[in-house]
């Protein structure tokens, strides 16, 4: 059995921690809640610090470690980094700091996209930090070399802010989406990767805009469901799955607005968890 940060054994009854720079991770939480309905989930939205995608790798890593420590203090048995940007910047540091903790990250689905693209041109929508990371560059080069697929990378600056504001269908959001998607379609992409967990919440708008730009079918790849499957597998391998005789509870924390997170849970997931505001979280000691 694994041990938590205090050296205590992790128990199957303990909750699963999930975090994102804001509300994006809810697009992953919805899969986990469906697939593992008996599990208690603790969600941390670091909305006061969103977007992570415009910050340096050192800042994202420090913040991710602090949020991880906060969730560990609440006894989580596993951690889902439900943020592509935090995964690319910080998952190594999290695993190094907490070697006993099962940690599942999310990365843009370049591999499934390459496997199913016929035009061999794949558009990747993600944050600037994700697209500039060494981790993504390596992944992209490996998959391109093996498959001959060309990846067109598009940083969607400003899109996370719009989604955090709840502006899923506004004219400004549509304008940004058009601006970011048009060059990818023009270059012949037949597959678009949603490389940020906020973007599934504007997927209907993306599909509509793509439909207006081309008559060709364009596939959209989102890795939220795969993360949930990987979490189930890891929990099962570690004998950490909660028994079936109960309904799991969701509890949420935010460094931003309580009412905004409540509204988002209700509007996007039809869930009504208690939401606590966390004004400050300390940087864990001994981690630089
Ligand atoms: N949901 C985060 C991701 O998957 C958004 C990052 C941000 O805050 O910029 O990348």
- Here the CATH number for the domain that contains residue 46 is 3.40.50.1860
Per-residue pLDDT tens digits for 81-92: 999 999 999 999
H or E segment to which residue 68 belongs: helix 57-73
Mutate to test the pocket of ligand 1, among 25, 48, 53 (most ligand atoms within 8 A of CB): 53
131 and 41 part of one domain: no
Structure-block tokens of residue 220? 């959209």
Residue 287 pLDDT more than 60?
Answer: no
Identify the CA nearest to 29 among candidates 205, 225, 162, 274: 225
Tell me what pLDDT residue 4 has.
56
Ligand 1 centre to CA of 108 (Å) is 11
156 in catalytic set: no
Question: How many structural domains comprise the chain?
Answer: 2
Ligand 1 centre to CA of 251 (Å) is 21
50 and 64 part of one domain: yes
pTM above 0.75, yes or no: yes
Q: How far apart are CA 91 and CA 102, in angstroms?
A: 11
Tell whether 245 is covered by a domain.
Answer: yes
Tell whether 286 is covered by a domain.
Answer: no
Per-residue pLDDT tens digits for 62-87: 999 999 999 999 999 999 999 999 99
Tell whether 72 is covered by a domain.
Answer: yes
């Amino acid at each position: 059995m694994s041990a938590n940060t205090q050296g205590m054994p992790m128990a199957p009854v303990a909750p699963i921690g999930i975090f994102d720079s804001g509300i994006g991770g809810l697009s992953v939480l919805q899969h986990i809640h469906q697939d593992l309905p008996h599990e208690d989930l603790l969600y941390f939205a670091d909305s006061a610090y969103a977007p992570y995608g415009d910050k340096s790798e050192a800042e994202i890593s420090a913040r991710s470690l602090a949020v991880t420590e906060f969730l560990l203090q609440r006894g989580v048995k596993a951690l889902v980094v439900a943020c592509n940007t935090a995964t690319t910047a910080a998952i190594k540091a999290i695993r190094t700091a907490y070697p006993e903790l099962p940690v599942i990250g999310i990365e843009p689905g370049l591999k499934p996209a390459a496997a199913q693209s016929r035009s061999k041109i794949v558009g990747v929508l993600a944050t600037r930090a994700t697209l500039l990371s060494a981790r993504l560059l390596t992944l992209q080069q490996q998959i391109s070399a093996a498959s001959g697929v060309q990846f067109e990378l598009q940083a969607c600056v400003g899109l996370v802010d719009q989604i955090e504001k709840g502006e899923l269908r506004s004219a400004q959001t549509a304008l940004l989406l058009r601006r970011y998607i048009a060059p990818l379609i023009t270059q012949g992409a037949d597959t678009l990767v949603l490389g940020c967990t906020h973007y599934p919440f504007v997927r209907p708008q993306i599909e509509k805009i793509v439909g207006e730009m081309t008559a060709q079918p364009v596939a959209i790849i989102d890795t939220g469901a795969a993360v949930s499957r990987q979490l189930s597998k890891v929990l099962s391998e570690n004998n950490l799955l909660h028994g079936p005789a109960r309904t799991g509870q969701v509890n949420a924390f935010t460094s931003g607005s309580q009412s905004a997170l409540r509204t988002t849970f209700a509007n996007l997931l039809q869930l009504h968890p208690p939401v606590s505001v966390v004004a400050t979280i300390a940087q864990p000691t001994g981690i630089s």
